A and B are shown apart, each in its own frame.
Chain A
Amino acid sequence: MKTVIIKYNAGNVQSVMYAMDRIGASYLWTDDEQEIRTADKVIFPGVGEASTAMSYLREKGLDKVIPSLTQPVLGTCVGMQLMCRHSEENNTTCMGIFDLDVKRFDSTNFKVPHVGWNNIYNLKTDLTQGLRENSYMYFVHSYFAELSPYTVAECNYVQPFSAMLQKDNFYAAQFHTEISGKEGQLILENFLKL
């Protein structure tokens, strides 16, 4: 099986690679369109800022490649936000795979960013098979995807928001599966088993 981790200016993806190593999965880290198109699984990680990431994807033509993929794709953190329609982070037009908007948490009564371990619930995707309701995942983010028909796991901070999304072959998680302990690892394993 060929798994590709998409290479772009997404900050540090080393943790994702080590997580793949821990579960004994091989991967290719690349931004080459052919390699991405011929992969069995595609991981689209992300740490960083939305508009910078989107400009890089546009420059490489990846903003067209990613939405046209037909194999299972997993976007995490900013990767997930870039798969939505629009992000309030520097008013960024994103790839629009998920027809919903990414907004900033209201910081009136809460600390923003949302940092730390929070429970996810209403789990209804193949990726959460074997995971108990209210499992804890590690989050670090200031922007969130609203609840929508694509929401397959929820989390609550300031308000309920989408912890995971799914539409056809596209899967996404707001939290960092790669550093969310055994539970995060299970989600990665489930994805690779699809």
Chain B
Amino acid sequence: MLTKRIIPCLDIKDGRTVKGTNFVNLRDAGDPVELGAIYAEQGADELVFLDITATVDNRKTLIDLVRNVARHVNIPFTVGGGISSIDDVSALLNAGADKVSINSSAVRRPELINELALQFGSQCIIVAIDTRFVEGEHIVHTHGGRKPTELRTIAWAKEVEDRGAGEILLTSMDTDGTKAGFANELTATISANSSIPIIASGGAGTMDHFTEVFTTGKADAGLAASIFHFKEIDIIELKQYLQQQGISVRL
């Protein structure tokens, strides 16, 4: 049976993981390669590396990092942050990334999704959507959720699928950082509307939050950052717990 995926997200700045971690067994807490390999060992199903600086200067550093991750990690990984052209994607895939995630560039020029899907195949194109509830409506935001767009989230999710996105990474800015649970209602609406997998992000604080996002939220994968970095939740324990709740996971 196809399992629900647990995906740790690592924020990268200048080739280093940004947020501190509580892994005592890490030689270098800022080394994304070592952290990624540990997550893979612990049963993470995929990894997401998000370059939060994403400037031209940092591009080479990022490519080197991707190459290193690909050499050492034997599970799929996605790279996101500042990707806006076929050349950007080509460089990342050639360095060994399995998928890329685009966000603002897709909002600016939606045709980019079609072009990337045609060139590289939908399977490696994730469209990230940052959403916030504003005056009774779910609105797509960019710039880390600070800048509202004209786009309505549910319609945009359908559009990115029609344009060839292979998966959607849905981050609720309303729940992100709250540790009060994922945006299950919105996630469920979008998941029921779409035939591509939905990765839910934002708000994970307890193991039950994952149970909820996979049941009520109908998500295909759950993504989180700090709760894994700070070892508030251990990935193996989380997956064992989910299995006890009757959710299919890879153990």
Q: List chain A positions with a Cβ less than 8 A from chain B.
A: 11-12, 14-15, 18-19, 21-22, 47-49, 107, 111-119, 136, 138-141, 156-157, 176, 178-182, 184-185
Contact = CB atoms under 8 A, between A and B. Distances in A.
Contacts of A139: 2
A136 B167 contact: no
Contacts of A14: 70, 93-96
B96 A18 contact: yes
A80 to B, nearest CB: 15
Category for how many chain B residues contact A: 20 to 34
A65 B128 CA distance: 42
Contacts of B94: 12, 14
- Interface of A, secondary structure class, is mixed
Interface stretch (B117-125, B201-209, B223-231): B117-125
B123 A47 contact: yes
A116 B45 contact: yes
A117 B70 contact: no
17 contacts: A11-B120, A12-B96, A12-B98, A12-B120, A14-B94, A15-B70, A15-B96, A47-B121, A47-B123, A47-B124, A49-B121, A111-B220, A112-B195, A113-B122, A117-B250, A139-B2, A184-B74
B8 to A, nearest CB: 15
Contact of B71 (A18, A113, A115, A157): A18
A118 B195 contact: no
A179 B44 CA distance: 12
A117 B2 contact: yes
- 3 closest Cβ contacts across the A-B interface? A136-B250, A117-B250, A14-B96
Given A18-B96, A136-B250, A181 B40 contact: yes
A181 B71 contact: no
B116 interface: no
A138 B74 CA distance: 11
Given A111-B197, A119-B1, A181-B40, A22 B123 contact: no
Given A12-B93, A140-B123, A116 B197 contact: yes
A157 B74 contact: no
B82 interface: no
Interface in B51-74: 70-72, 74
B238 interface: no
Contacts of B250: 117, 136
Contacts of A156: 1
B74 to A, nearest CB: 5
B3 A181 contact: no
B196 interface: yes
Contacts of B96: 12, 14-15, 18
A139 to B, nearest CB: 8
* Interface of B, helix, strand, loop or mixed by DSSP: loop
B3 A136 contact: yes
B74 A182 contact: yes
Nearest to B73: A179
Nearest to B90: A12
A47 B93 CA distance: 12
A144 B100 CA distance: 24
B12 interface: no
Contacts of A116: 2-3, 5, 45, 197, 220-221
* Best-buried of B40, B70, B94 by chain A (most CB within 10 Å): B70
B121 A179 contact: no
Nearest to B2: A118
Nearest to B96: A14
B29 interface: no
Contacts of A112: 195
B233 interface: no
A181 B94 CA distance: 20
B217 interface: no
Contacts of B71: 18, 21-22
Contacts of A18: 70-71, 96
B170 to A, nearest CB: 15
